Amino acid sequence: MQGVDRVAFVEGDRGPIGAIALKSYVVAETRIASVDVRLRRRLASTAVKDLGNPLRAGDRVVLVGDVATTGRQLVHAASRLKKRADDLQITALVYYDRCRGAEGSLLDHGVGLVKYMTEPAHNVVVQAGQVGKSPA
């Protein structure tokens, strides 16, 4: 993750279950400062927690999520981050993209999407840690 200033993790309505495992791994491996973005409608508490290391204008941020479907949650998290500092360069990184509009929604909001795995209907297979097109 060269050139990344911050790693941001999304905690949604169902709690931080997926984010905890991802955060633990990514922070331990990269030693990059992290930010938590809490998006909870039920508790009326949307917050960005930077744990004493605030975002700065121009920071390059990787917004980590486990699954992307429509991209609503990632777009919301990115907009919360952008309110904290000007000119953030945000890229979303997800383990699994369900290919139901997330990439387009994110691009519409100036956020790129990097994905490890996509919906099988989109002809992508994962074998032994390798990602590639399935044979036709």
**Buried-state track 79-90, b at ≥16 Cβ within 10 A, e below 16:** ebbbebbeebeb
Which of these, 25, 99, 32, 109, lies nearest to 67 by C-alpha position? 99
Cα 136 from chain centroid (whole Å): 31
124 has pLDDT over 60: no
Q: Whole-prediction pTM value?
A: 0.78
Angular region, 101: left φ>0, alpha ψ -120 to 50, beta rest: left
CATH code, 6-133? 3.40.50.2020
Beta strands in 69-111 (DSSP E): 89-97
Interval 63-111: pLDDT, tens: 988 889 999 999 999 999 999 999 999 999 988 899 999 999 999 999 9
16 has pLDDT over 60: no
Kindly list the domain boundaries of the chain, sorted by start residue.
6-133
